[in-house]
């Protein structure tokens, strides 16, 4: 299955065979421009120089054409809901991408507004064809469609940040077990070591206008949101991500099943910011985890539990935003049963009701919730168990479900380093809008939406210790976040 097989009929066989995989989507067909000087890899979502199927595809195309590859990154100041915290992390990652690509003979050219237009860059370097990565979110997908209509040279995109190409799923799934029924038989075919082709011809050292990476790619951006400060709990970049992965595999994977339920421990991989920014490939994580299991250093149950999150839930989230593109970040994405039950309870008396600002400042009557909010605001990452609780309470304490969804998205996207991700919207839709869940027992406000109580959640782990740690930045950073990835 190809992205658009009819469109590749004019291509020479050697190039056509590169499109013969569901990972590649031919967005603009045609033959590469003659007398061109290079192939361009337009890096947007997959910000890394290794384990990157989009870059690998660009290299293979370049080898077929006898051309070098140039990578392009356009830094934009108006990316939806981006702020300084996100861009500091992204900026750190660009250094690693630049180094890793240089080792593969590919220069990375970063440009900032107003010199950052892809079409201008393609002209400047004399591109034959542009290979991009995929991003299932609304705006980035729109950019790709607009470009496909405007470009004069072929444009392919490569689904680089999922293990199983998302195009193989031709519908949205309302339950994880139904998704896994289709996903699982495909895993053996895709859980394999990537090819990592070697580039045959390198870009001559031609000078080309670029931003020389320093510490602040946002310098001088007047309308950029700087209100959310960078955090020192995570250092961005592929190198930090690889270190973190090694630590996780060596120390935490064996106990993952139990430790992942303990927010007071550093018991999960904390790779979500790196996955969000494309600093690490999910395939690499899965392959290395499998290696550890195969060597007998982690039980199969731990591996299965981890893969269930990393591929089972994560790729379901990609499927969700792909098939709910217009509604994934609002209450409109609710399952019909969830929408109905919440509507029936919309006038229920709310014992506690807070404003957005009170929630943002963590000023509720619930100490555990305030701590979770504080973990996110101060440290840029919240534990999964508490994200579930956090979302449920926003539903309970907001004026109505639509407002709850909106506020949860705004808070999550502003403060989580891994926010603005398919997982963000799938997680919030699970907590508030019944997505991937079933009706439970009827109760006030929630109707049949699954409820979580503070008392029972707080008993599942050492919540006193968790709250004490969050309140003490030195201890929190030391004990809850991995040394390998701290700034």
Ligand X SMILES: Cc1cc2nc3c(=O)[nH]c(=O)nc-3n(C[C@H](O)[C@H](O)[C@H](O)COP(=O)(O)OP(=O)(O)OC[C@H]3O[C@@H](n4cnc5c(N)ncnc54)[C@H](O)[C@@H]3O)c2cc1C
In angstroms, the CA 110 to CA 214 distance is 11
Q: In angstroms, what is the minimal distance from the CB of 412 to ligand X?
A: 5
Q: In angstroms, what is the minimal distance from the CB of 173 to ligand X?
A: 13
CA-based nearest residue to 44, from 81, 76, 85: 76
Does the footprint of ligand X cover residue 263 (CB under 6 A)? Answer: no
Q: Which is nearer to ligand X, 3 or 362 (CB)?
A: 362
Site for ligand X in 357-416 (CB under 6 A): 384, 387-388, 391, 412, 416
Among 108, 431, 467, 469, binds ligand X (CB under 6 A): 431
Placement of tokens 């050292």 in the chain: 205
Q: In angstroms, what is the minimal distance from the CB of 295 to ligand X?
A: 20
In angstroms, the CA 148 to CA 128 distance is 15
Omega before 204 within 30 of 0, i.e. cis:
no
Q: In angstroms, what is the minimal distance from the CB of 393 to ligand X?
A: 10
Does the footprint of ligand X cover residue 272 (CB under 6 A)? Answer: yes
Say how many residues make up the chain: 487
Q: In angstroms, what is the minimal distance from the CB of 124 to ligand X?
A: 35
Among 28, 45, 260, 435, binds ligand X (CB under 6 A): 260
Per the structure block, which two tokens stand in for 174? Answer: 């309302």
Q: In angstroms, what is the minimal distance from the CB of 312 to ligand X?
A: 8
Site for ligand X in 195-254 (CB under 6 A): none
In angstroms, the CA 179 to CA 184 distance is 9
Selected range binding ligand X among 58-66, 162-170, 272-280, 475-483, rule: CB under 6 A:
272-280
Binding mask 304-343 for ligand X (x = CB under 6 A): -----xx--xx--x--------------------------
Q: Which is nearer to ligand X, 151 or 310 (CB)?
A: 310
Q: Which is nearer to ligand X, 129 or 429 (CB)?
A: 429
For residue 484, which phi and psi values (nearest 5 degrees)? -55, -30
Site for ligand X in 147-176 (CB under 6 A): none
Cα–Cα separations (whole angstroms), residue 423 to 35, 272, 319, 382: 43, 9, 10, 13
Among 268, 281, 322, 370, binds ligand X (CB under 6 A): 268
Q: In angstroms, what is the minimal distance from the CB of 283 to ligand X?
A: 13
155-158 vs 24-28, strand pairing mode? antiparallel
Closest CB to ligand X belongs to which residue?
Answer: 427
Q: Which is nearer to ligand X, 310 or 377 (CB)?
A: 310
Selected range binding ligand X among 35-43, 270-278, 398-406, 443-451, rule: CB under 6 A:
270-278
Binding mask 436-475 for ligand X (x = CB under 6 A): ----------------------------------------
Binding mask 78-117 for ligand X (x = CB under 6 A): ----------------------------------------
Q: In angstroms, what is the minimal distance from the CB of 217 to ligand X?
A: 22
In angstroms, the CA 364 to CA 350 distance is 14
Q: In angstroms, what is the minimal distance from the CB of 56 to ligand X?
A: 22
- What is the size of the binding site for ligand X (CB under 6 A)? 29
Among 421, 466, 470, 482, binds ligand X (CB under 6 A): 421
Per the structure block, which two tokens stand in for 244? Answer: 């973190």
Per the structure block, which two tokens stand in for 164? Answer: 């199983």
Among 3, 49, 165, 427, binds ligand X (CB under 6 A): 427
Q: Which residues bind ligand X (CB under 6 A)?
A: 260, 268-272, 275-276, 309-310, 313-314, 317, 384, 387-388, 391, 412, 416, 418-419, 421, 423-424, 426-428, 430-431
């Amino acid at each position: 299955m190809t992205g658009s097989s009819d469109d590749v009929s004019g291509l020479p066989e050697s190039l056509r065979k590169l499109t013969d995989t569901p990972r590649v989507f031919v967005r603009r067909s045609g033959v590469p421009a003659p007398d061109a000087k290079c192939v361009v890899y337009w890096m947007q979502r997959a910000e890394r120089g290794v384990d990157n199927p989009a870059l690998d595809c660009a290299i293979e195309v370049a080898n077929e054409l006898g051309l070098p590859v140039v990578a392009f990154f356009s830094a934009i100041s108006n990316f939806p809901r981006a702020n300084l915290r996100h861009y500091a992390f992204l900026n750190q990652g660009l250094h690693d991408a630049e180094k890793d690509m240089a080792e593969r003979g590919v220069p990375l050219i970063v440009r900032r507004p107003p010199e950052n237009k892809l079409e201008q860059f393609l002209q400047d370097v004399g591109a034959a064809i542009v290979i991009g990565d995929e991003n299932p979110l609304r705006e980035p997908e729109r950019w790709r469609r607009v470009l496909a209509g405007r470009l004069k040279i072929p444009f392919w995109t490569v689904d680089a940040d999922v293990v199983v190409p998302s195009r193989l799923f031709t519908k949205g799934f309302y339950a994880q077990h139904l998704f896994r029924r289709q996903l699982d038989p495909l895993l053996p075919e895709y859980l394999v070591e990537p090819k990592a082709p070697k580039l045959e011809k390198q870009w001559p050292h031609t000078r080309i206008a670029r931003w020389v990476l320093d510490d602040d790619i946002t310098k001088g951006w007047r309308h950029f949101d700087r209100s959310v400060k960078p955090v020192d709990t995570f250092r961005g970049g592929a190198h930090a991500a690889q270190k973190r992965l090694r630590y996780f595999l060596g120390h935490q994977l064996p106990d993952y099943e139990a430790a992942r339920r303990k927010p007071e421990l550093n018991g999960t991989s904390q790779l979500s910011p790196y996955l969000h920014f494309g600093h690490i490939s999910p395939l690499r994580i899965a392959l290395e985890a499998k290696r550890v299991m195969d060597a007998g250093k982690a039980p199969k149950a731990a591996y299965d539990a981890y893969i269930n999150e990393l591929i089972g839930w994560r790729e379901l989230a990609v499927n969700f935003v792909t098939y709910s593109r217009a509604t994934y970040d609002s209450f409109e994405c609710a399952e019909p049963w969830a929408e109905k039950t919440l509507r029936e309870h919309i006038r229920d008396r709310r014992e506690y009701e807070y404003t957005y600002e009170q929630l943002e400042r963590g000023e509720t009557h619930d100490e555990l919730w305030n701590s979770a909010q504080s973990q996110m605001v101060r440290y840029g990452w919240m534990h999964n168990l508490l994200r579930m609780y956090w979302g449920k309470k926003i539903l309970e304490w907001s004026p109505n479900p639509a407002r709850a969804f909106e506020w949860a998205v705004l808070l999550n996207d502003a403060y989580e380093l891994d926010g603005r991700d398919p997982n963000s919207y799938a997680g919030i839709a699970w907590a508030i809008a019944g997505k991937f869940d079933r009706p439970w027992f009827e109760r006030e406000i929630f109707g049949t939406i699954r409820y979580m109580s503070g008392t029972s959640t707080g008993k599942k782990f050492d919540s006193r210790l968790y709250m004490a740690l969050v309140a003490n930045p030195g201890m929190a950073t030391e004990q809850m976040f991995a040394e390998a990835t701290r700034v």
